[in-house]
A and B are shown apart, each in its own frame.
Chain A
Amino acid sequence: MAPTVALAGNPNAGKTTLFNELTGSRQHVGNYPGVTVEKKEGTFVRDGFRLHIVDLPGTYSLTAYSLEEVVARDFLVNQKPEVVINIVDASNLDRNLYLAVQFLEMGIPICIALNMIDVAKKRGIKVNAAKLSSLLGVPVIPTIARSGKGKKELMDSAFQIIQEHHKLNPLKISYGADIDPVLAEMEMEIAANHFLTDTYQARWVALKYMESDEQILALGRKADADLSGRLEDLVGKVARHLQNTLDTYPEAVIADQRYGYINSILKQGVIYHKYDRNRLYSSDRIDKVLTNRFLGPLIMLAVIAGLYHFTFTYSKQPVAWMESFFGWLAAMVSAVVPEGLLQSLIVSGIIDGVGGVLGFVPLIMFMFFGIAILEDSGYLARVAFMLDRIFRIFGLHGSSVMAFIVSGGIAGGCAVPGVMATRTLKSPRERLATLLTVPFMNCGAKLPVFALLIATFFAKYEAFIMFLITLGAWAGALLVAKLLRVTVIKGAATPFVMELPPYRMPTFKGLAIHTWERTWQYIKKAGTVILGLSIVLWAMMTFPGLPDSKIQEFEALRRAEISRVPPGIADELKAVDDNIELSDSARHLKEKLLRIDAQQAEAGLRYSIAGRIGGALETVSQWAGFDWRTNIALVGGFAAKEVVVSTLGTAYSLGEVNPEQSTSLSDTLAKDPGWSPLMAIGLIVFTMFYSPCFVSVVCISKESGSWKWGAFAMAFNTVLAFFLAVLIFQMGSALGFLVK
């Protein structure tokens, strides 16, 4: 097997760029702290010699504070890479060396890539790499990952480490008179009892106990509860002593001493600053405008509106192409495959299902491209910075805003890209709460439902009601987020401490790779599951088919209609030629036959599993004033919200109803005694809040890493929506409000 080289370093140090440079597999280069969450692997080949390269998630430390750190540490411990290339940002040397020191303390063979020396030079920072190397005892190679400079020397040095294969003695830093003796005592105990020493070095285990590292503590308690207890007692004693004398904590002292060690090295002529370190650079001057108290929010509004416009306006044409392609495909299949179950399965089940997935692709590509620009340029971190105060109230994070906007925070978005946009969020609890609440936004598919109901019952107040619906969605989403954050996703806010990376010009290539990678993940992840589910939904609305006796009844009705007119007229209908103008009586007959078809479709729907579910639910749903027809329509809406309109059409025997032009349905509803403006409000609210469509559910499950959360979204949202609808209907009825 090829030797393994791990790339490690702080976020924004240029790790991913170097990875691309080494492996040639072009990937995402982000600018938002911690964008590399997955494990990326590649192969480096030189002179027929192969190296297995692993890009570890960007971390500031190895304290097992975040998931990324645990992932990185576990990899280093379990996979034991032959060498770790630690990429450090030369313009930010002391902070970056904090991680390097921890590698050295673990005794991991590292080789330091002193990256971005060009940026450092521009900032008047000079670093003596040779001096740093001799002081740390590891190779230090100046590099510029963006241009590939220093790559050869870096790999030479990595090869050398692999070939020499010598054991590195872990670095021992003095942690002061309070900690050092206890650490030595613990180290001896640990070594004597071979406590966790199969995997870790004794001193390192002692150090992690001193730092109260939860992961190591848990491992230790499992391995030897007795010894672990003794070690914890020793730490407890030191902690109390430090608390009493210096009002501090062991972990704080350790961090201090690490920085102290780094400073003592840097002071020995390693680094030279020409200017004041905290002087402002062009990036900071841009920030003076972009995060300005007054201009900042205005510019942000414009940028967000721009992103929205870009995503939904420019993707319209490609989406239309996709739709017409699948429409054409469906027509082709319908022409070739004889009418019947097979045709229905292929057209309504498979093509509609696959079309449903691929139909989103242009939208997702545009959205990711837009977000990639904001992310790679560094602007997204500023958005989080500016909005955090508001979103924090609801237990969310400043970065949540993008997901909400894309999902339909400005009516007409889509929850699928919205759910995927939560990837830019680093805090796990905040991210989950965002994931689960973005589907409350008014996506484009809910709009036809609203349009139908508003046109039917509130035609005069269209704009006002739409405005209320938008406000209602935001209020609902934020309040539910808050509710979730104090119940099922309870937990303190994840610290906001993050870096505002310098603004950088995104490269088109980087954006393209970024966009394509994420879009492809969507197609791959969602595609298979959604195809299966759409077949299930199709089956639910198709089976069991009407019994033969019923079908015979409709056939008889048709024959009766035909026999009522002279035979020539029926023949006229059979001649399928659109160019021939039908006679009045033939048109009359055609309408009658179509009506029978529609009645048969209604009966078929009612008879199907979905119809039976709808009927069975009536006993409950009547509390909100919904009859079986509405119920089936809402079940159908699980496939995609606009299906509510077309299913209502079928349920009201109107045949195929185009969601965009639903006037006939509107007339029917207005006349139907079961409908009232009050019930319409209830239905609007229900549509806003009930289960996300199944494409969203699949995405929620995939993004949250568990089907549990997908199921939760379906159940919780539906219960909440139903509760609201019942509340509206019952209160309104009691007050005699808006009842017909």
Chain B
Amino acid sequence: MEMRINMRNMRDNQAGTIASIKVSGELGRRIRDMGLVPGTEIKVQGRAPLYDPVALRVRGATLTLRNNEADYIEVEVDQ
């Protein structure tokens, strides 16, 4: 079953497709510039030792972002 969850709540190695990114301004721009837009497939590659930031596999590269930045991103995942 498909469902929408917040990126923060994704498990390690869980894959999904970005459904929406609800942030404008500097952060929003930065997120989009790095290739995170709705429809992009992502996979959680791992988290830092203190569970924050999170490392994502996106378009064949590894990106990192903080949990409070990931909060703006909703992801469609297979449950």
Contacts and interface: CB of A to CB of B under 8 A. Distances in A.
B28 A251 contact: yes
A123 B60 contact: yes
A389 B50 contact: yes
B10 interface: no
Given A252-B28, A278-B15, A287-B46, A60 B33 contact: yes
B11 interface: no
A259 B66 contact: no
Contact of A251 (B15, B24, B48): B24
A441 to B, nearest CB: 23
A472 interface: no
A94 interface: yes
A475 interface: no
Interface in B1-51: 15, 20-22, 24, 26-41, 43, 45-46, 48-51
B34 A60 contact: yes
Contact of A256 (B29, B38, B41): B38
A388 B62 CA distance: 17
A255 B32 contact: yes
A495 B41 contact: no
Given A291-B48, A497-B64, A259 B35 contact: yes
A388 B60 contact: no
Interface in A235-269: 247-249, 251-252, 255-256, 259
B33 A386 contact: no
A91 interface: yes
Most chain A CB atoms below 10 A, which of B30, B43, B45, B69: B30
Interface centre among A251, A277, A385, by most chain B C-beta atoms within 10 angstroms, is: A385
Given A252-B28, A498-B64, A500-B62, A386 B48 contact: yes
Contacts of B66: 388, 392, 493, 495-496
Interface string A389-402: 11010000000000
B53 A385 contact: yes
A61 B69 contact: no
Contacts of B39: 256, 259
Interface in A491-548: 492-493, 495-500, 502
- Of the listed residues A259, A386, A497, the one surrounded by the most CB atoms of chain B closer than 10 A to its CB is A497
A291, A292, A495: residue with the most chain B Cβ atoms closer than 10 Å? A495
A94 B22 CA distance: 22
Nearest to B24: A249
Contacts of A296: 48-49
Interface string B37-79: 1111101011011111101011111111110010000000000
Contact of B57 (A248, A278, A292, A498): A278
Nearest to A239: B24
A63 interface: yes
Contacts, number: 132
A98 B55 contact: no
A230 B40 CA distance: 35
Contacts of A502: 62
A284 interface: yes
A236 to B, nearest CB: 13
A278 B60 contact: yes
B53 A63 contact: no
Given A247-B22, A291-B48, A296-B49, A259 B62 contact: no
A123 B26 CA distance: 33
B41 to A, nearest CB: 7
Given A65-B30, A278-B60, A495-B69, A247 B20 contact: yes
Contacts of A498: 34, 63-64
B65 A278 contact: no
B69 A497 contact: yes
Contacts of B27: 495, 497
B64 A94 contact: no
Given A248-B20, A252-B32, A385-B55, A259 B37 contact: yes
A63 B48 contact: no
Nearest to B42: A278
Nearest to A493: B66
Contacts of B41: 277-278
Nearest to A275: B60
A297 interface: yes
Nearest to A256: B37
A252 B36 CA distance: 10
A496 B60 contact: no
A293 B27 CA distance: 27
A722 B50 CA distance: 37
Contacts of A291: 46, 48-49, 55
Given A385-B64, A495-B65, A65 B29 contact: yes
A282 B59 CA distance: 17
Contacts of B53: 385, 388-389, 496
A63 B50 contact: no
B56 to A, nearest CB: 9
A131 interface: no
A95 B59 contact: yes
A495 B36 CA distance: 14
Contact of A500 (B32, B40, B51, B55): B55
Contacts of A249: 24, 28
A259 B76 CA distance: 19
Contacts of A292: 49
B51 to A, nearest CB: 8
B48 to A, nearest CB: 5
A389 B34 CA distance: 21
A389 B43 contact: no
Contacts of A215: none
Interface centre among B21, B34, B48, B58 (most CB of A within 10 A): B48
Contacts of B33: 60-61, 63, 65, 98, 255
Contacts of B49: 291-294, 296-297, 386
Contact of A94 (B24, B57, B59): B59
Contacts of A297: 49
Contact of B24 (A63, A252, A259, A294): A252
A92 interface: yes
A12 B70 CA distance: 24
A483 to B, nearest CB: 22
Interface in A373-426: 385-386, 388-390, 392
Contacts of A287: 45-46, 55, 62
A498 B65 CA distance: 7
B39 to A, nearest CB: 8
A65 B26 contact: yes
A700 B79 CA distance: 52
Given A496-B66, A499-B64, 14 more contacts: A60-B34, A65-B29, A92-B60, A94-B35, A94-B59, A247-B22, A277-B41, A388-B48, A390-B50, A495-B26, A495-B30, A495-B31, A495-B69, A497-B36
14 contacts: A92-B60, A212-B24, A251-B24, A252-B21, A252-B24, A256-B38, A278-B57, A386-B49, A388-B48, A495-B27, A497-B36, A497-B63, A498-B64, A500-B64
The 7 A-B pairs of least Cβ separation, nearest first, read: A255-B32, A61-B33, A389-B50, A95-B35, A500-B62, A278-B57, A60-B33
